Each structure stands twice: as structure tokens, then as C-alpha cells.
């Protein structure tokens, strides 16, 4: 089922330079390269003798296999066989290409012939009036669904993030409603937290409005509205390399401090993620239990219970869930 959705595998800037870019999605090893002004994605194998094309290099608009020099162009078809330069190249000598789209500075891949739904609709990422940032991608030893639940979990903020902004004196999660649609979920909540820029020194509290918009199966837009009207938005893009390994990409935008450096913001967000990571990677079972009877749930878990039901509705099930 997951192969029918778009998944982010890397940033646009990763697919550049003299080498093809390797990516893994849902246990499929892929090669990405630019040809004819667009990104081409294919299974990472030259069908001549089964060598990964990521061993090779880019020459103009073509990727070259390092083993025997076979070349492939924008449509994945072989364009040259150096050992037989005059031979007619059969049409079947073609890479197994998959759908690739470039949007928001991210390369998205769909392994199915027809995507089940569109890419997330986040037009503000194209707004030149916002400060836009990206964080280095990182591998988490967890399922993508576990990562999603953690990112959208309100109750853990006061405990896991006490070293940055979490408020253990006010851990109660106020009642909130979750809207579920065929393509995603939406919910909002207020959280009284310390300023993240104080690095846990616990100054004055500030009430932040958290607005979560989830695009199925795994992608979240989280807007933080500050009391003075400033907006900071984090785009969480966990990409399932396998059932228990996730490549996590993050984009960030803000409508303030437009001329300030990215470095301090990225350092702060990296610290926040470092607080989450050991907990998410240690969760058992590694797979997200979609049968609600397998774990205990409280009122504050409203998002989690709705999310698990939604995944079942999409067609996920069984013991292994990416």
C-alpha cells in the first residue's frame, strides 16, 4: 500500500554534481540523476550485468555504468554500448524507472504507476517573503509511523523536552479535537512552554498555539504561533527506507528575523530532535501497533488513536508497518 504514495527521499541539492545519488525507499535501492532538465529515478541496477549504477558517474544528461560503460538517458533507455558501438540497442535495454517529482526543494518518489494522492499542499514554502531553512537529513532506527506519532504527540513535550522548552510544572494536555479527512488530519492545541532560546534556563512562560496538519501517510506541517503574532513552521518528512529504518528530512520557515543566519535555528532544532531520537528508537514493538488493544491509551492520545485508525483505513495492517 505504501508504494502508492509519494515519499521524499532527498533534497533537490543532493542530486547534483558528477555522481548519481543513491536512495532507499521501502527496501528498494534507487539511483537518481538529472537528465533533460528533470530528475530521473530508477532501480539502482544496470540490467546488462547487475551492477549498481551508483558506482558510475554523470556525463552530460546521461548516467554511465562503471562496469562496461553503458549509458542511459532521460527516459532510462540505453543510448550507447561501448563494446559494440554500431549495434542496434534493443528497447528492453532500459532501466526500471519510477515516478519522480521535484517540489519544495525535495525529490519525491512514488513506486507505483499511479499515485494514490497528490503531494502535500504547502504553498508557503514557495513564498519568497519567508525565511526558509533545511536541516541535514538523518537516519532514525525506527518505523516512519512511530516517528510520526512522536512528532505529533502533545503529552511528551513537557517530559522529553525539559532540557529545551518543556514545562514539567504544567504537563496536562487540554482537550483537543482531531479532524480526519481522506488525505490527512488536522488539530490545534495551546502549550505553555519556556523559550527554546533559553536552553532550559526556565525564564518566563509563553503560550504557543500549535497547529498540526498531517498529509498521509507520514508528513506533518507544524505551525507555532507566538503570542506576538510571529510564525515558525516545521515540515517533518520521514521517509521509510525499510520497516524499521527511516530517513528524516526537515524544512523550516519563519516570518521574522529574515536577515538572521540559519545556524542558531538549526542548532536549536537539532537539539530538540536529539531529545526525541533515543526514545523513538527504543520503542517496542518497533512497528506501530494498529490494533488499539495492544497498547494503553489516554485522552491525550487522541491524535495517536485517530492516526492508527486512519492507517488501517488506508489499507495498512499486519505485524510489520513501515
Residue 295 lies inside a defined structural domain of this protein: yes
**Chosen domain end from 110, 135, 166:** 110
- 304-319 pLDDT per residue, tens: 999 999 999 999 875 4
pLDDT in tens, 69-113: 999 999 999 999 999 988 899 888 999 999 999 999 999 999 999
For residue 10, give its domain range. Answer: 2-110
Averaged over 10-16, what is the pLDDT? 95
- CB-based contact 58:50 (threshold 8 Å): no
* pLDDT tens, residue by residue, 222-234: 999 999 999 999 9
Q: 275: domain CATH number?
A: 3.90.380.10
Same domain, 92 and 162: no
Helix (H), strand (E) at residue 56: none
Is the pTM higher than 0.75? The answer reads yes
Where is the domain boundary, 47, 80, 110? 110
Amino acid at each position: 500500500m505504501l508504494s502508492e504514495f509519494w515519499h521524499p527521499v532527498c533534497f533537490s541539492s543532493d542530486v547534483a554534481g558528477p555522481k548519481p545519488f543513491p536512495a532507499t525507499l521501502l527496501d528498494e535501492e534507487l539511483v537518481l540523476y538529472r537528465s533533460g532538465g528533470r530528475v530521473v529515478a530508477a532501480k539502482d541496477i544496470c540490467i546488462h550485468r547487475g551492477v549498481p549504477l551508483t558506482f558510475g558517474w554523470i556525463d552530460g544528461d546521461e548516467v554511465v555504468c562503471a562496469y562496461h560503460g553503458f549509458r542511459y538517458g532521460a527516459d532510462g533507455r540505453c543510448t550507447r554500448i561501448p563494446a559494440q558501438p554500431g549495434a542496434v540497442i534493443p528497447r528492453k535495454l532500459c532501466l526500471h524507472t519510477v515516478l519522480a517529482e521535484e517540489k519544495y526543494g525535495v525529490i519525491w518518489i512514488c513506486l507505483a504507476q499511479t499515485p494514490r494522492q497528490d503531494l502535500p499542499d504547502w504553498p508557503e514554502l514557495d513564498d519568497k517573503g519567508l525565511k526558509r531553512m533545511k536541516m541535514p537529513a538523518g537516519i532514525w532506527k525506527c518505523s516512519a509511523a512511530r516517528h510520526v506519532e512522536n512528532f505529533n504527540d502533545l503529552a511528551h513535550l513537557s517530559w522529553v523536552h525539559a532540557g529545551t522548552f518543556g514545562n514539567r510544572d504544567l504537563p496536562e494536555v487540554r482537550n483537543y479535537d482531531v479532524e480526519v479527512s481522506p488525505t490527512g488530519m488536522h488539530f490545534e492545541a495551546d502549550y505553555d512552554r519556556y523559550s527554546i532560546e533559553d536552553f532550559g534556563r526556565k525564564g518566563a512562560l509563553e503560550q504557543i498555539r500549535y497547529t498540526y496538519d498531517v498529509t498521509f501517510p507520514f508528513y506533518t506541517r507544524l505551525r507555532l504561533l507566538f503570542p506576538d503574532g510571529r510564525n515558525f513552521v516545521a515540515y517533518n518528512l520521514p521517509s521509510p527506507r525499510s520497516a524499521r529504518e527511516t530517513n528524516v528530512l526537515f524544512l523550516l520557515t519563519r516570518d521574522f528575523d529574515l536577515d538572521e543566519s540559519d545556524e542558531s535555528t538549526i542548532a536549536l532544532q537539532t537539539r530538540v530532535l536529539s531529545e526525541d531520537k533515543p526514545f523513538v528508537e527504543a520503542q517496542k514493538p518497533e512497528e506501530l501497533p494498529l490494533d488499539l488493544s495492544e497498547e494503553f491509551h489516554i485522552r491525550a492520545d487522541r491524535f495517536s488513536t485517530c492516526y492508527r485508525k486512519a492507517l488501517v483505513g488506508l489499507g495498512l495492517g499486519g505485524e510489520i508497518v513501515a
